[in-house]
Structure 1
Amino acid sequence: MTNTKPAITFDGTRLCIEDIVAISQQTSSAQLSAAPEFRQRIQKGADFLDRLLREDGVIYGVTTGYGDSCTVVIPPELIAELPHHLYTYHGCGAGRFLTPEESRAVVATRLASLSQGMSGVSIALLDQLEILLKHDILPLIPAEGSVGASGDLTPLSYVAAVLCGEREVMYRGERRNASDVFTELNIQPLRLRPKEGLAMMNGTAVMTALACLAWQRADYLCKLSARLTAMNVVASAGNANHFDETLFAVKPHAGQQAVAARIRNDLASPQPSRNDERLQDRYSLRCAPHVIGVLEDALPFFRTLIENELNSANDNPIIDAENERVLHGGHFYGGHIAFAMDSLKNTVANLADLLDRQLALLVDTRFNHGLPSNLSGCTGPRAAINHGLKALQISVSAWTAEALKQTMPASVFSRSTECHNQDKVSMGTIAARDALRVLELTEQVVAAMLIAARQGIALRRRIDPNLQLPEALAAMQADLEDRIPLLVEDRALDKELQALILNIRAEAWVLYAD
């Protein structure tokens, strides 16, 4: 069968978040450049290292030990074994394994960095990384064990080991020994050259890969939160004038203005009138652009930080073959990713908090302007035993509280490690994992809010049969009605929630063109 997936070429030119996400989701394939000039540039670094070794050059991590052991001189006859010892003794990861999507992203991200041609690796190493992606041979990578400087050493040791036919992989949905899969596919295990173990492990590939996936999910939640807010304004008979263009022109945060415009356009029709005298809705509706807009404004900045890291050479030392220099530094330090992920989890958790407050208004007869208690669709005598979304609102509160609890920045918890060589570290990988957990919890809140918005608008129509929804909201409501039956008699909602969570992650709804 011909592979019709578009290929993303790795040749040292700039990649974007969407490239890594596409490879992780297998909507695009990864292709190492076959251009002779690219391959020659890569090989030039490896040849330069070979010449230094022949001339008795002292190279950190090649002729010396690692980290605080940099004063230990490696006997020439043992230099070839050193890279294999590096990934061996770092085989001490714990926690969950990265998902298949996360593992693909990690391999692709490391390939992107090494393709910069500043790491002194051979083209054979890059070819082996491409082979893993081509055959979807996914290293089983424990999520925990990295302090984010000297890079993601422990989790990346599992990638390095798999390149050499060691440890375990996921292949075609089965957990297997890498050596068996390599034998089956006639893949030759790699023998790492000097510096290649360090080049594979001494970098920010895990945190950066997770950050790419987190950014994409956060971007979609940002848009979906605006759509849900518009639906909740309709359901609660709210005031559409809170999103007026002139009103937002006087506070020129571009992201906040964009969110207000999305909600305003979604509400582009006369809204139902209310009999009360309240001119202003409560903050969770009126100030929604101000909450969602913080994330909207921050996302471009986060993108810059993540993509700069993605397109960097971030191991140590840097091998400048062109000028024949070995440059010792600290590019493995993941401070920018740590900051981006600590900040992203804060802004995303605020979406959960905003929607949690909107739900609290919708289910409460004191605030929902005539809707039944807990948005129950049951009427007549049986209404007494039906409880609508009462329990769902409790779960949303629990998920929101947990998301907010996770917003403590990981980057402020630097620990001195490795005999005080790594005495200031980034905690970037922990921050990225925290961000993914906050996203997971917020997606659960959003799934619940899709049920509530669908229910709330249907019940508002009972009160106002002449209610006309604007085009975008009408289409969204119709889609949700196809997915979620009206809740009349109490029923378990867990399966519907899980299906909606998958829909959110698959970006099932086309939201805004801006």
Structure 2
Amino acid sequence: MHPADPTISTISTISGSKPRVIAFDRNRLRIEDIVAIAQGKAQAVLSADPAFRAAIARGADFLDRLLREDGTIYGVTTGYGDSCTVTVPADLVVELPHHLYTYHGCGLGEYLTPAQTRAVMATRLASLSKGFSGVSVELLVQIASLLEHDLLPLIPSEGSVGASGDLTPLSYLAAVLCGEREVWRKGEHVAAAQALSDAGITPLRLRPKEGLAIMNGTAVMTALACLAYDRAAYLTQLTTRITALASFALDGNAHHFDEVLFSVKPHAGMQGVAAWLRHDLPAGQVERNGKRLQDRYSIRCAPHVIGVLADALPFFRQSIENELNSANDNPIIDAENERVLHGGHFYGGHIAFAMDGMKNAVANLADLLDRQMALLVDSRYNQGLPANLSGVQGPRAAINHGLKALQISASAWTAEALKLTMPASVFSRSTECHNQDKVSMGTIAARDCLRVLELTEQVVAALLITVRQGVWLRLQLHPELSLSPALAKMMDVLATDIAPIQEDRRLEPDLRLMLERMRQQEWSLYA
């Protein structure tokens, strides 16, 4: 049964505590709001402000009046897309939205995860709440109710070309609002009709433009972009911390990150990464004779590699949040001036470009770390550490191989990430009788970006094990060395989860634990 108090959501059980409330109205939302809702740490609530609800109602009322006056409205009294020249008889207008989501029920591929689905629903709710889509307040309430009860449409991830928006995947949201198809409920697939009935939610009968308003937008790609941004921003910091540990393990030179050195190349993100490295590697650390004057590029140039993503993140945020806070269906309903404006705001080009750029910058992090690992495990380049970072000495060293296989796996994950950096946005296809003759491919770009993030996180997991082992071995060889407080704290945290690798052991459990910690963002890194 659903809670008696409508302000308390069953979603609170996801995070184990009552979530904070995020009000949906015409105000601007941030990426963090969508991520919090996706993770079950916040509840989406439709604003009860009378002025806001009146503004939403004006759009639906204006459309109703146009219909009574025999107005011609795309997608309301006409067919969709190339069929815009087909006039729909007045007695069939009410059926048109249901046909729209029905014939778009042809998605394939894996279903979006529950977190991704919450993000999609919240993103669509944000756009429709701007008041330019001609939908009813009841439709917005229905989306918020599904989120409140954590009834999540089963949405196939494949089938969108990113214009006219995410038609096929969003058809699954439209159908569930009407009590059709299936939902996730507490991790199980349940018929939508049964799930809505159990929650006391009455299925909708969509008003004339509401099917189009739900489906004809960029909610799927934008939601996935919000989740991708959150992960990429964290990886920027985590890759920097790993680089500091790798530099220490390789007996590197802290002077490569000198403040004056970086002041002459004024990329703010890159300078920030260098500052983080100075924080982790104080310049006063012991400098011993015999050190290389210059470390290899994967250490020395790490701020220049990580800094590309750090500098791109503000642009990515701007593009994603502008799309998140946009009315992006067609036509736009200007109720205040009583106009119907036909355009192409469903086109996801900004998200496509952001996701193509992000996956490129993130894959470069994987490549950077892969190169660092290659140095760390190779006794020719690791400044006196044992081959493959094996912790075994004596006769048993002959049968122990340390991180040899882990380096192979990290290289495989890196190669796959790099392979996926081909931009999706350049693969536009002409579809739908050449009406949709130039499309964004934004959803494919976002899915690719999430896969690149997943692969890069696997490389990061491998490097966390590697630098934990490398620093441990370096300190055994040179007990006079000391870590900065930040690196010492990180090593203590890693040591809690990862025992030193002496006798060979299966490392998959360690990797999976690192991935879990990473995706929960459990490590505090830089302010």
- Structure 2 length normalisation: TM-score? 0.96
The residue aligned with 1:188 is 202
Q: 1:435 pairs with 428, 449, 452, which one? A: 449
Write out the 4+ residue segments of structure 1 that deviate beyond 6 Å after TM superposition. none
The residue aligned with 1:461 is 475
Q: Distance in 1 between matches of 2:386 and 2:287?
A: 18
- Equivalent residue letter for 1:91: G
Q: Distance in 1 between matches of 2:76 and 2:513?
A: 51
User: How much does 1:271 deviate?
Assistant: 3.1
The residue aligned with 2:170 is 156
- Equivalent residue letter for 1:394: I
How many residues are aligned here? 513
C-alpha distance after superposition, 1:173-224 (max 9, x if no partner): 1111000111111210000000000000000000000000000000000000
The residue aligned with 1:351 is 365
RMSD: 0.9
CA contact (8 A) 1:151 1:332 kept: yes
The residue aligned with 1:90 is 104
Q: Distance in 1 between matches of 2:466 and 2:287?
A: 21
C-alpha distance after superposition, 1:78-100 (max 9, x if no partner): 00000000000000000000000
2:42 corresponds to 1:65: no
CA contact (8 A) 1:374 1:389 kept: yes
The residue aligned with 1:337 is 351
Q: Distance in 2 between matches of 1:416 and 1:140?
A: 28
The residue aligned with 2:60 is 46
User: How much does 1:477 deviate?
Assistant: 0.2
2:425 corresponds to 1:411: yes
CA contact (8 A) 1:237 1:272 kept: no
* Matched residue SS, 2:96: helix
The residue aligned with 1:302 is 316
CA contact (8 A) 1:240 1:267 kept: yes
CA contact (8 A) 2:374 2:407 kept: yes
- Equivalent residue letter for 1:314: N
Q: Distance in 2 between matches of 1:273 and 1:478?
A: 24
User: How much does 1:341 deviate?
Assistant: 0.1
> Identity across aligned pairs (percent)?
71
The residue aligned with 1:423 is 437
2:225 corresponds to 1:211: yes
CA contact (8 A) 2:23 2:45 kept: yes
CA contact (8 A) 2:182 2:190 kept: yes
* Matched residue SS, 2:194: helix
CA contact (8 A) 2:154 2:183 kept: yes
CA contact (8 A) 1:6 1:27 kept: yes
Q: Distance in 2 between matches of 1:213 and 1:90?
A: 25
User: How much does 1:269 deviate?
Assistant: 5.8
The residue aligned with 1:117 is 131
Q: Distance in 1 between matches of 2:201 and 2:270?
A: 52
The residue aligned with 1:311 is 325
User: How much does 1:273 deviate?
Assistant: 3.6
Q: Distance in 1 between matches of 2:66 and 2:203?
A: 26
2:23 corresponds to 1:9: yes
2:333 corresponds to 1:322: no
2:276 corresponds to 1:262: yes
The residue aligned with 1:139 is 153
* Matched residue SS, 2:110: strand
User: How much does 1:421 deviate?
Assistant: 0.1
CA contact (8 A) 2:255 2:283 kept: no
User: How much does 1:276 deviate?
Assistant: 2.7
User: How much does 1:278 deviate?
Assistant: 2.2
CA contact (8 A) 2:251 2:291 kept: no
Q: Distance in 1 between matches of 2:74 and 2:355?
A: 31
C-alpha distance after superposition, 1:149-169 (max 9, x if no partner): 000000000000000000010
The residue aligned with 1:244 is 258
* Matched residue SS, 2:133: coil
CA contact (8 A) 1:269 1:470 kept: no
The residue aligned with 2:182 is 168
Structure 2 unaligned residues grouped into runs of 5+: 9-17
User: How much does 1:51 deviate?
Assistant: 0.2
The residue aligned with 2:518 is 504
2:271 corresponds to 1:253: no
The residue aligned with 2:380 is 366
- Equivalent residue letter for 2:497: R
Q: Distance in 2 between matches of 1:471 and 1:418?
A: 60
* Matched residue SS, 2:72: coil
Q: Distance in 1 between matches of 2:338 and 2:512?
A: 56
Structure 1 unaligned residues grouped into runs of 5+: none
Q: Distance in 1 between matches of 2:476 and 2:140?
A: 62
The residue aligned with 2:12 is none
C-alpha distance after superposition, 1:53-83 (max 9, x if no partner): 0000000000000000000000000000000
Q: Distance in 2 between matches of 1:473 and 1:181?
A: 49
CA contact (8 A) 2:254 2:283 kept: no
Q: Distance in 1 between matches of 2:390 and 2:464?
A: 15
* Matched residue SS, 1:175: strand
* Matched residue SS, 1:188: coil
- Equivalent residue letter for 2:247: V
User: How much does 1:275 deviate?
Assistant: 4.1
The residue aligned with 2:50 is 36
The residue aligned with 1:221 is 235
2:21 corresponds to 1:25: no
- Equivalent residue letter for 1:83: P
Q: 2:248 pairs with 214, 234, 241, which one? A: 234
User: How much does 1:26 deviate?
Assistant: 0.8
* Matched residue SS, 1:31: strand
